Amino acid sequence: MQLAIHVSIPVIIAGALMTSAVISANMLSYVMIGKINERVPEKERISYVRWGLGVRKRFKQLYPGHALAYALDCCFVLMAVCIVVLIRFWVFQ
């Protein structure tokens, strides 16, 4: 009986890239919250602890055409591609 699990190189690379994209997206969201909080009044500020999906939308309202929103979108696309690669090479070996 074989107890070792075979994990291929594409699975390892996709997992590492997806982890990097998740961490990068989280850090970009924190930077966006900081920039939002600089421009809005005290009552409308977003908490760094409890924030939702409206951060990107609010950021695009305050900073149209800023590169942070594009970078966050790129992280989301990279995560989606990595999930497809993981499913392809890990689930359907």
Task: Please enumerate, as own/partner, the contacts of 6-13 that have beta carbons within 8 Å and a separation of 24 or more.
Answer: 7/90, 8/89, 8/90, 8/93, 10/85, 10/89, 11/85, 11/86, 11/89, 11/90
Q: How far apart are CA 77 and CA 85, in angstroms?
A: 12
Residue 2 lies in a domain: no
What mean pLDDT value characterizes the chain?
Answer: 91
The parent domain of residue 33 ranges over 9-91
Question: Between 91 and 20, where is the model more confident?
Answer: 20
How many folded domains does the chain comprise? 1
Residue 49 lies in a domain: yes
Residue 63 lies in a domain: yes
Q: Does 14 score more than 90 pLDDT? A: yes
Residue 60 lies in a domain: yes
Q: Does 93 score more than 80 pLDDT? A: no
pLDDT 10s digits, 27-44? 999 999 999 999 999 999
pLDDT for position 13? 93
Residue 53 lies in a domain: yes
